[in-house]
Amino acid sequence: QVLLVESGGGVVQPGTSLRLSCAASGFTFGNYGMHWVRQAPGKGLEWVAIISSDGRVTYTADSVKGRFTISRDNSRNTLYLQMSSLKAEDTAVYYCAKRDFQQWLDYWGQGTLVTVSS
Amino acid sequence: EIVMTQSPATLSVSPGERATLSCRASESVGSSLAWYQQKPGQAPRLLIYGASTRATGIPDRFSGSGSGTEFTLIISSLQSEDFAVYYCQQYHRWPPLTFGGGTKVEIK
């Protein structure tokens, strides 16, 4: 069965960096585009970034552009989100999600909490 | 960016009753609309894609309809496990993918 497991969250100070990982199994990882979606405490879902199946094409939300970078290692079946210059408003649970035939998200990880606080 | 607006924000329904949730897009998204269910402390779960196609394993009491800018999710007879927050998401024109603000379905 499809399994997505995020890791790397924690409590960090404003202005610092953090890298999230998402380990994928149960499907041919290299065949699918992948997304990061976040959810601030008590709030709704916010799309963060997408990467194509081969890693060549990426897009990020304007709210994180220039600070967050999505990448993947298909040999390790792992998705990454490199976050830098973190702000308090980046505090959220970060989910990785697999796209299906089009950009609906058919499988989600359990999420990892990032807290940006001094 | 396409703005998705869900209504109502909260829906109070008795078990066994029907729930009707709405989602409106700021411009036409065709049928490129998905619905997700999220329970407290859990990740979202895909319910519907293509506006009306149920995802694998989703009970037939969940049905989606609509196209263009107006969409509806109907839960025909609410079960205890259906009380949750529901989100719509468009994938017609991206980036960005955009989600509605959610509708919380609570027990009346």
Does pLDDT of A101 surpass 90? Answer: no
CB contact under 8 A, B102 and A109: no
Query: So what's the pLDDT on residue B52?
Result: 98
| Of B55, B97, B102, Cβ closest to residue A103 | B97
Distance CA A84, CA A78 (A): 19
Quote the CA–CA distance of A46 and A3 in Å, as a whole number.
Answer: 21
Q: If you search the block for the tokens 């829906």, which residue do you land on?
A: B11
Q: Which residues contact A91 (CB under 8 A, 6 or more apart)?
A: A40, A41, A114, A115, A116, A117
The upper half-sphere exposure of residue A71, i.e. CA atoms within 13 Å in the direction of its Cβ, equals 9
Which pLDDT tens digit goes with each residue over A9-58? 999 999 999 999 999 999 999 999 999 999 999 999 999 999 999 999 99
Closest residue by Cα to residue A32 from A110, A105, A112: A105
**For residues B64 and B31, what is the distance between their CA atoms, to the nearest angstrom?**
11
Q: Are A27 and A98 in contact (CB under 8 A)?
A: yes
Q: Which of B36, B43, B98 sits opposite A110 (nearest CB)?
A: B43
pLDDT at residue A41, as a whole number: 97
pLDDT of residue A63: 97
With beta carbons less than 8 A apart as the criterion, state whether A114 and A10 touch: yes
pLDDT tens digits for B20-35?
999 999 999 999 999 9
Res B88 pLDDT > 90: yes
List for chain B the helix, strand, coil content (%; round to 5): 5, 50, 50
Please indicate whether, in this complex, the C-beta atoms of B44 and A102 are within 8 angstroms of each other.
no
Residues 6+ apart with CB under 8 A from A48: A35, A36, A37, A38, A60, A61, A64, A68, A70, A81, A94
Mean of the pLDDT values across residues A92-113? 96
CB contacts under 8 A, A 51-80 vs B, are: 59-62
Q: Read off the pLDDT of residues B45-78 as tens digits, 9 standing for 90 and up.
A: 999 999 999 999 999 999 999 999 999 999 999 9
DSSP class per residue in B63-96: EEEEETTEEEEEESS--GGG-SEEEEEE-SS-SS
Give the dihedral of Cα atoms B24, B25, B30, B33; nearest 10 deg: -70
